[in-house]
Structure 1
Amino acid sequence: MHISETTIKVRYAETDQMGVVYHANYLVWMELGRTKHIEDIGFQYAEMENEGILCPVVDLQISYKKPFRYGDTATVKTWIEEYNGVRLTYGYEMYSEDGELAVSGSSEHICVKKDSFRPISLKKRFANWHEVYEKVKKQTQS
């Protein structure tokens, strides 16, 4: 399993009236983690989009354990939790500077044709992505 790491310095604009990171900003951080993970394993999401393929989010789970505040540094860890050739689930954990787990979550995606939103098989359409995803996804224990 490959785990990518992205470091984010919390900006003032990301916080709410309570002085903590507004919950929707964690979704942006998940996107940053996903993009970094795709790059780390040797691809660019823009390549897929240029060929008329999108991978929209179809399910999202997030659990807030500890808030981040302005000036904090968050480390976002991202990996492929599940992959079956059509559906792809990324896992995320966000850690504080002292190594404490602050946020965990997952996002499920389906790759579709841009013009019709019909699902496609990565195995058939992007065989090289499929092979790498199979290699780097989380290995389940038997």
Structure 2
Amino acid sequence: MAEPKRYSRIFRVRQYECDMYGHVNNANYLRYMQEAAIEASAAVGYDVARYNQMGKLWLPRLTEIEYNQALKYGDEFEIVTWVEDIRRVRSLRVYEFRRAGEVAARASTDWVFMDAATRKPESVPPDLMAAYFDDGLPEPAERRAPFPTPPPPAPRLVIWPHTVNWRDVDMAGHVNNAQYLSLMEDATLEVGRAFGWSLERSLSQNLAWVVRRATLEYRTQAHYADALEITTYLANVRRSSASRFFFVKQQGSGELVVQAQLQYVLIDLGSGRPVAIPEELRRDYADNVSPEATK
């Protein structure tokens, strides 16, 4: 029976990886995942230099992250990662963030094998498939769930423009997949300001939205100096949680680059525990909620 080769790496949280709440920033979990994936591939004989020689690379199609416990400055944690499924042009890599014997976060990325020049999918070579497993290849897994169908747009949308900066772009020459989470954070803060809930107002009431789950689907790539726009609205509003959908598009053409669903929980900053969404907050955001949202 095929067994995936597992790779583990110890990290220590650095100060600049944390946000003002004292937690590791959401996007940095994805950056840890990228680093672990690169090292795991190198450990089975496929490092960056070998991929460059082959003229191939892996690009993400769908990433999911479930945040169970907040990692904080100075924490030492382990990432364990393995390839769970591989077929034709795609590979599903799974990640666990382990701290003190508990799983702080779980994640997966569905990667697509690409020709580096054309950026078109190519079949994964048999020897590359075999490198990730002991005792043969696994049986094909069930069909992977697609990105959730977005609900209808809210009556009032917030569209936040962004021109791709040099710092957004990685070695592959496009906006790094983790950077989209950072852009969505910026857009969320602009939404709060637009609806009367600036960061300062939230902090004055000891309230904060934290991400419990993130799902991102990458449709195409954005590059340096591209003019993007991020449209966002709320859905599935419940007692202390809500989902926010994001659509990153090219300005002008409207081509969809990335779409995402982030599931938020409102917490009390003092206790770190979920709290009921105040009625005034619900009222102020009402026009930015999809009409199909559950109240």
1:32-59 Cα distance to aligned partner (Å, 9 max, x none): 1111211222221331123321211111
Question: Any conservation in 2 of the 1:79–1:137 contact (CA below 8 Å)?
Answer: no
One-letter amino acid matched to 1:16: D
Structure-1 residue corresponding to 2:127 = 128
Match of 1:86 among 80, 86, 89: 89
Instruction: Please show how residues 4-19 of structure 1 align to structure 2 within 5 Å.
Output: 4-19=7-22
Match of 2:49 among 46, 65, 71: 46
Report the CA distance between 1:137 and its aligned residue. 8.5
One-letter amino acid matched to 2:132: Y
Asked whether 1:112 is paired with 2:114, we answer yes
Structure-2 residue corresponding to 1:28 = 31
TM-score (norm 1): 0.87
Task: Tell me: higher relative CO, structure 1 or 2? Use CA pairs within 8 A at least 6 residues apart.
Answer: 1
Query: SS where residue 49 of structure 2 aligns?
Result: helix
One-letter amino acid matched to 2:101: G
User: Which protein shows a greater Rg?
Assistant: 2
Q: 1:114, 1:42 → 2: CA distance?
A: 19
1:106-130 Cα distance to aligned partner (Å, 9 max, x none): 011111112211111122xxx4213
Asked whether 1:67 is paired with 2:66, we answer no
Q: Percent identity?
A: 25
Cα 1:136–1:66 change in 2 (3 A) is farther
- Unaligned 5+ segments in structure 1 are none
- Count of matched residue positions in the alignment of Structure 1 and Structure 2: 138
- Unaligned 5+ segments in structure 2 are 140-295
* CA RMSD after TM alignment: 2.2
TM-score (norm 2): 0.44
Greater helix content = 1
Q: 1:136, 1:81 → 2: CA distance?
A: 14
Cα 1:107–1:133 change in 2 (3 A) is same
One-letter amino acid matched to 2:78: T
Question: Any conservation in 2 of the 1:6–1:75 contact (CA below 8 Å)?
Answer: yes
Q: 1:135, 1:120 → 2: CA distance?
A: 24
Report the CA distance between 1:139 and its aligned residue. 4.5
